[in-house]
Amino acid sequence: MSSISELYDVCWEEMRDKLRKWREENYRNSEQIVDVGEELINEHASKLGDDVWIIYEQVMIAALDCSRDDLAWSCLQELKRQFPDSHRVKRLAGMRLEALERYEDANKLYDSILQDDPTNTAARKRKISILQAQGKSSEAIRELNEYLEQFVGDQEAWHELSELYINEHDYAKAAFCLEELMMTNPHNHLYCEQYAEVKYTQGGLENLELARKYFAQALKLNNRNMRALFGLYMSASHIAASPKVSAKVKKDNVKYAAWATSQISRAYQMAGRGKKENKCSVKAVEEMLESMQITMS
Amino acid sequence: MGEVELSCLAYAKMYLHASQFPRCSVNGLLLSSSPAGGAVCITDCVPLLHTHLSLAPITQLALTQVDAWCSQTHQRIMGYYQANACVSDSSPTPCALKIAEKIFEQCNNAVLLMIDGEKMFPGCRVPPIVMYERKDARWALKDKHTIMLRQWEETCSIVNQLFSSGDQALLVDFDSHLDDITKDWTNQKLNAKIMELVSPANGNV
């Protein structure tokens, strides 16, 4: 079994830099992290300087994700030895217990951290994750709401809560969470687009019009967001087809839908160029656009 | 309701889909190319989503596009599959029931298939599948003995081969297609690889 450095012809510095990039951009490509990180740790630990500790942490978490308890355990031992009283390392020990489904033991560990330091957000979030893993969504939602009352600026928590509400089909509350996120991140096209999807799902003319507006906003922020483009097309088409709208509203929405159609066709034509393999999906889109035109008029 | 046959191609792609996104709930549509009214055979599947399964716009979009593709390729949508993120719970969610209901409106021997994550480990002797059919106005568990997976061992070995060759990464679902529309959600390339591995002894697709 050849090493990563042989397979990809990279030196240890490049491997270290790759790990840093993945760390900074919060990628969850755990198999890759384990492959690269394990080799880096085994062969080049002495060259890494102080970076080695954060790499142990990163590799440990990735190892848990890949059920590599052997690797996770050895990383944890190194960290425990170096930082014997650290809450951060204790949290990692808790995560390992979670991976082994020893939730009670993990909770005890997190509770001991919180006794020492009630403001430790990492431990609180792990406790909520345990509730999610156990399928206790209503409790997770309740705990997360309580958490957000104290830590109202935590974007990750707001997004997690919106996801929980979406899974529970509580679209009104999911929309509220996404509104918070859009307020603090006005340039994030993904939040606009998710908000629009929630509104569309809630249904009714008013929500469809809101959905259309936010799909359009998402496109303004990122004109390559295909979900937003399709969303704009579908919401405008549905509004235009509704018997409750005035002639002007109908006309406007037909225009929006037509614009969206041309953008979609163009995008697919560019995607289809030279690629034999996606001819089927291109054809399917063309047919779909045609069939929806008929229902609209 | 009688027997339902699940082809190697459909099973392999569903399994690959669930494996590609182990932390998410995933879903997809089950297709049949055999004529309506005959024996029920799930010949293929289209993996759909791994995010926000219960939101309407993308699901509606996917259903419309798959419908269009089916009429071009003489197939019909005859079922729905889902694998829940929470591995210990393989019961159908409200969203699964809703979509299955919609499919039943067009196809009266529609099936709802839940993938049982707890049985998805190498060497498991039992197919990680729970199937439901429409009976007395609700979705009822189908008798395990009426679900046919021809050449089960061979199917398992084909799935293993796909993992060891790295070909499982070829699978594209509708969500991934929307992230990059040059990717093919009909999975022509992967289909070809799987069909290559299916021996003539496996009978039909």
Rounded distance, CA A47 to CA A103, Å? 37
Rounded distance, CA A132 to CA B23, Å? 12
Q: With CA atoms as reference, report the closest residue to A75 among A286, A83, B10.
A: A83
Flag whether pLDDT at B66 surpasses 50. yes
A230/B58 touch (CB, cutoff 8 Å), yes or no: yes
A226-241 vs A279-296: helix axis angle to the nearest 10? Answer: 20
Q: With CA atoms as reference, report the closest residue to B95 among B158, B27, B43, B151.
A: B27
- Confidence at residue A132, expressed as pLDDT on a 0 to 100 scale: 94
pLDDT, averaged across chain B: 90
- Confidence at residue B39, expressed as pLDDT on a 0 to 100 scale: 76
CA torsion B79→A225→A296→A266, rounded to 10°?
Answer: -110
- H-only helix segments in A100-246: 103-116, 121-133, 137-150, 155-167, 171-184, 189-202, 205-221, 226-241
Rounded distance, CA A95 to CA A207, Å? 41
B interface test, pick of A168, A227, A261, A264 with most B CB neighbours within 10 Å:
A227
Averaged pLDDT, B193-204: 73
- Confidence at residue A216, expressed as pLDDT on a 0 to 100 scale: 97
pLDDT tens track for B71-118:
989 999 999 999 999 888 899 999 999 999 999 999 888 999 999 999
Flag whether pLDDT at B11 surpasses 70. yes
Domain B4-198: CATH superfamily, name plus number? Cytidine Deaminase, domain 2 (3.40.140.10)
- Report helix, strand or coil for A110: helix
CA angle A7, A12, A17 (to 5 degrees): 105
Flag whether pLDDT at B202 surpasses 60. no
What ipTM does this complex have?
Answer: 0.92
Mean pLDDT by groups of 10 residues along chain A of 297 residues: 78 92 92 93 90 95 95 96 95 96 97 96 97 94 97 96 96 98 96 98 96 97 96 95 94 94 91 68 73 56
Higher-pLDDT residue of B125 and A114 is: A114
Q: Give how far Cα A20 sits from Cα of A1, A17, A37, A52, B141, Å.
A: 25, 5, 11, 11, 49
B94/A275 touch (CB, cutoff 8 Å), yes or no: no
The domain segmentation of chain B, as residue ranges, is: 4-198
Flag whether pLDDT at B122 surpasses 90. no
- Report helix, strand or coil for B5: strand
- Confidence at residue A1, expressed as pLDDT on a 0 to 100 scale: 60
- A→B interface, C-beta within 8 Å: 133, 135, 166-167, 169, 194, 196-198, 200-201, 203, 211, 226-227, 230-231, 234-235, 267-268, 271, 275, 277-278, 280-281, 283-285, 287-288, 291-292
Flag whether pLDDT at B204 surpasses 70. no
Q: How many CB atoms lie within 10 A of CB A69?
A: 14
Residues 6 or more apart whose CB falls under 8 angstroms from that of B71 comprise A287
Residues 6 or more apart whose CB falls under 8 angstroms from that of A30 comprise A61, A62, A63, A65, A66
pLDDT tens track for B17-64:
999 999 899 999 999 998 877 778 999 999 999 999 999 999 999 999
Rounded distance, CA A158 to CA A144, Å? 9
Q: At A270, list the tokens.
A: 């560019």
Flag whether pLDDT at B205 surpasses 50. no
Q: At B14, list the tokens.
A: 């569903």
B57/A235 touch (CB, cutoff 8 Å), yes or no: yes
